[in-house]
Structure 1
Amino acid sequence: MPEMDSGLSHGEDEAGNAVLKEVWKLLRKLRIMELLAEYHPRLAGTVPLGIQVEGSDLDIICEVREPRRFIETARCHFGQLEGFYAVTGTVEGVVRTKINFSAGGWPIELFGQPLATEKQNAWLHMQVEGRILRLLGPGFAENVRSLKSGGMKTEPAFAKLLKLEGDPYEEMLALGRLNPEEFNAVCRRAQPYI
């Protein structure tokens, strides 16, 4: 059976742990990771980080080289679920497939592109965000949730609190390439928010 871990230790609070346990129980029940194993699925986004808010979805990233086949596989297994919808498009020269549906009270998005899951931006962002949360703690996490509850997306929320300028998605990737000393220095900018 495919590895069920998202690759991160989830939040320290019991509520975060309970939500993540609930999510893994749902994913096991739907057999998503098992049925999509050939696409190397990984749970990414806010839930593994423990910073989900009402309306957050479950983001499952996949390595997809044949979008039509991916959609047909998903339709075969999940097409009967509420709101099933699939679309493929090209963004910045990269073919991307999004499949959405709902199950167990959660909106679910399968996202595929022709790139190993551990090299996809969603995964890289989550790794950086996990490092930041471990370093800056629950106060910072609560500030991220507060901004997200107000409608801000995750990466812009982190960028705002860290006082990063420029495109927040690119800035978060750049932050992940810094050495530990530089990384910690950038994170210290957020001290008034902790």
Structure 2
Amino acid sequence: MFRTINYLESGNEVQRRAFQVIHQLGILEDMSKYNPVLCGTIPIAIDIKGSDLDIILEVYEPDRFSKDVKSRYGQLDGFVLRDLTMSDMPTVLTNFHYGGFEFELFAQPRAVEQQNAYLHMLVEHHLLMTNPQIKAEIIRLKEQGMKTEPAFAHVLGLAGDPYDELLVLGTELGVINGVGEL
């Protein structure tokens, strides 16, 4: 469902606006060789004011990717590009503003379907579909400053690291097969 953004076109107001802005920018086409996938709260309609458009990418040549991103988006407001190590993996994180949204590009040398942002979104979407009554509380906690995964963990009473616990729960529920695998 989340491999394309077509579902946004018939979504809520923020989702429809995101669909238009993403198409206007042409970022999915520009970044197509990196298998871009929109993740985060906007696709699953638990966004709050100021939520960004998180796009994850599969990148094995970070220097080439950084040059590509800088040449395409470096002139946009708030452009920042950082090289990091996350989960023992080289990561390129890019932020900029366009069309009333903040974009965050998250690039790692791992298939997008195995990246935590994608897996978390699948688990969260499943939880929202099977327990729609939790949506309002998740949004309320987010509006109070809690991050998405900790908000889910709080509502579900999960102990331990919320990011890890959501992956474990997703495996137990059969949403994902093993941590980091579909």
Mapped pair 1:178 → 2:172: yes
CA deviation profile, 1:58-105 (whole Å, cap 9, x unmatched)? 100000111111111111111111011100111232101100000111
Residue 5 (structure 1) shift: 2.5
Q: Is the 8 A contact 1:128 1:176 kept in 2?
A: yes
Q: Does 1:100 align with 2:92?
A: no
Residue 21 of structure 1 corresponds to: 16
Question: Match for 1:161 among 147, 155, 165?
Answer: 155
| CA-to-aligned-CA distance 1:161-185 (integer Å, 9 cap, x gap) | 00000000000000110146xxxxx
Separation in 2 of the partners of 1:113 and 1:90?
9
2:57 to 59, 62, 68: 62
Question: What is the root-mean-square deviation of aligned Cα atoms in Å?
Answer: 1.6
Offset of residue 150 of structure 1: 0.4
Q: Which has the higher helix share?
A: 1
Letter in 2 for 1:127: L
Q: How much has 1:24 moved relative to structure 2?
A: 1.1
CA distance in 2, matches of 1:143, 1:179: 21
Residue 137 (structure 2) aligned to one of 140, 143, 150: 143
2:61 is aligned with 1:51? no
Give the aligned partner of residue 5 of structure 1: 5
Query: Comparing 84-93 with 118-127, which one deviates more in the overlay?
Result: 84-93
Secondary structure at the aligned position of 1:47 is classed as coil
- 2:4 and 2:73 map into 1 onto residues whose CA distance is 19
Aligned to 1:120: 115
Post-superposition Cα deviations, 1:23-72, rounded to whole Å, max 9, x if no partner, equal 01101100000000010000000000000001111100000111111111
CA displacement, residues 82-134 of structure 1 (integer Å, 9 cap, x when unaligned): 01110011123210110000011111100000000011000000000000000
Q: What is the rounded CA distance, in whole Å, between the counterparts of 1:131 and 1:60 in structure 2? A: 20
1:171 maps to a residue whose letter is: E
Structure 2 residue matching 1:52: 3-state secondary structure: coil
Conserved? CA contact 1:4–1:33, under 8 Å: no
**4+ aligned runs moved over 2 Å, structure 1:** 3-6
Given that 1:4 and 1:24 are in contact with CA atoms closer than 8 Å, whether structure 2 keeps it comes out as no
* Larger-gyration structure (1/2): 1
| Gaps in structure 2 of 5+ consecutive residues | 175-182
What's the TM-score, normalizing by structure 2?
0.89
Structure 1 unaligned regions, length at least 5? 181-194
SS at match of 2:160: coil
In 1, Cα distance between the equivalents of 2:13 and 2:145? 24
